[in-house]
Every structure is written in structure tokens, then in C-alpha cells.
A and B are shown apart, each in its own frame.
Chain A
Amino acid sequence: MAGEYALAFDQARARRLLIVPALFDEANRMRRLTVEVMRRLDGAGIDSVLPDLPGCNESLQPLAAQTPQGWRRAMAAAAQHFRATHVLGIRGGALLTPPGLPGWHYAPAKGASILRQLIRARILAAREAGRDESQDTLLAAGSMEGLELSGFRLGPEFLRAFQTLTPQPGASEVGQDMIGGGGLWLRAEPDEDRRQADALAAVLAIGMRA
């Protein structure tokens, strides 16, 4: 999976963390926290890398042509390329973490709940515009011809596979109660929280010390 960009703190150190980002609209809301955690890990002597998923951010791939399996392969390739020793999946990123690596899932979300929320947002927006849509008809149509959700154009194969996706096995779950405060993916607008970044970085740095 060549040709994707990544944000990296890489000084060829021994402890190396691959971060699989939150997905879709949540990616924007979690980006600042994610990078703040990377800065803290850098200060603690840990390298980290945050790759773009194919079809997202600066990727040259079309999003509509992606599949969850392709994203999993891309993250496995990123882990290998970066020689990651550990992995962190954030929210929907937990669906895509390479299972062979030890690591964490921060507030993992199922594919079905992510999809349900995106579709609900679309239904609400459509209703304001005087159009009536429903989960079932949108999903049925989407499984045949794809669907645009919050500006993300998802292909039929993606939609079919994504709704059954559950977090990859083997990772330790980091719940919001361990981080404190309210989850930033819930925010109506992107925000940051220094204490949450401190807490998440501490969980990771302590876990990677062993």
C-alpha cells in the first residue's frame, strides 16, 4: 500500500506506536487530541506514526473505491513499513488495527453504530430539507449503489462489509473513565483537552515501558 501520507514522530527509537485514527467526521474531532498524544509520546522517547487511510485526507485514492478489508491491509502494511511495536486504535480505528501487534483500543466503536449515526445525521438533514429517508431504505440502496454520508462517498462493498465489523481482537480497551472528562468525538465542534491527552499518553507510555 504505497503512496499514502503519514504524520510521524520518527527518530528510529525502539518503542514505536502505530495509531489507527478515528473514522469519518470523528477523525476531525479526534485529530487534535491524537496529535497531542503523539507529541507527549515523543517527549517520553516513543516514536509514533499516524497514517492516512486510503481515500482519506491527502490520499490520492478515491474513497468510494475503498473497502474495510483494504483499510485493514493498509494498516498492516503501515505497521510493517514503520516497524511498529505497538498499536493504538481510536474509536472506529479499533476496527482496523493489525491483530498481531500488542496495543490498545480507545473508546472502540462498532461499524454498525458508526454507520447508524452517520445515516441518522443524513436523515435529519434530509428532513430539514423536506425529504423523508429511512435507515433501512438508505442502507438497502447503499448496498447496491453506494451512499454519501456527511460528505463521505462510500461504495456498496464498503457499506456491506462495514456494518458487520467489530473491533479487532487482542487489544486492551481504554475507556473514557480512564481518561476523564467527556469524549471529544461527541463534541459538536472539534476541541482539545490537555488533561485527556496527558491521561491517554500516560496509559500508552506506561504500557510500552515493559
Chain B
Amino acid sequence: MQTDIDQLLRHILTDVLGLKAGQADGFTIETGLFGHLPELDSMAVAGLLTEMEDRLDIMIDDDEIDGELLETYGSLLAFAEAKRAAA
């Protein structure tokens, strides 16, 4: 069962990583992101976070961004859901 935030996040990753439609549906909470995908450099991560802010209507403080947050799809999703709940 995907939440709206889950779907939006998969959309954003599809755009950033240039995935084919449906490909991001295969992401699980264990799917590795930063460190596993060489194209996800600091510029791409900055773009990803800014896009999350725009589309999820949240603000992300730079202090909140660390390696763990971006380690897996699950950790990024949990962060986005917590942010959205607090917004």
C-alpha cells in the first residue's frame, strides 16, 4: 500500500534519475540511494531535496541532511512522511 507521499517521492526520483515509467515502483525500503547510485552526486541530491520541498510543501533544513537520510529509499520516505506530518 503506497501513500501519497510515497508516490510523490517515487515520481521525484523518477525525474531526477531519469527512470522509465514504473521503474521506481520496484523500489523497496531497502533500495540503496546515495552511495549506491553514482549519478546521485551532491548537486543531484541538492536538486532532489529542493524538489521535495516544492512538491511536498515542506522545508528541509541543511542540518537535517546527512548520509543516513539518503542511505535507502526507506529512510528518505520516513523523513518525508515525518516532515509532512509536522507541516
Contacts and interface: CB of A to CB of B under 8 A. Distances in A.
B50 to A, nearest CB: 5
Chain A at the B interface: mostly helix, strand, loop or mixed?
A: helix
B8 interface: no
Contacts of A25: 43
Given A25-B43, A150-B43, A183 B15 contact: yes
B56 interface: no
Of the four ranges (under 10, 10 to 19, 20 to 34, 35 or more), the interface on chain B belongs to 20 to 34
A128 interface: yes
Given A123-B62, A188-B39, A188-B40, A182 B15 contact: yes
Interface in B39-55: 39-51
A49 to B, nearest CB: 28
Given A188-B39, A188-B40, A189-B39, A120 B18 contact: no
Contacts of B42: 121-122, 124-125, 128
B17 interface: yes
Contacts of B11: 182
Given A134-B62, A135-B62, A188-B41, A117 B47 contact: yes
B39 A124 contact: no
Interface string A43-84: 000000000000000000000000000000000000000000
14 contacts: A113-B50, A116-B50, A117-B46, A124-B42, A124-B65, A134-B63, A182-B18, A183-B15, A186-B16, A187-B15, A187-B17, A188-B17, A188-B18, A188-B37
Interface of B: 11-12, 14-18, 37, 39-51, 62-63, 65-66
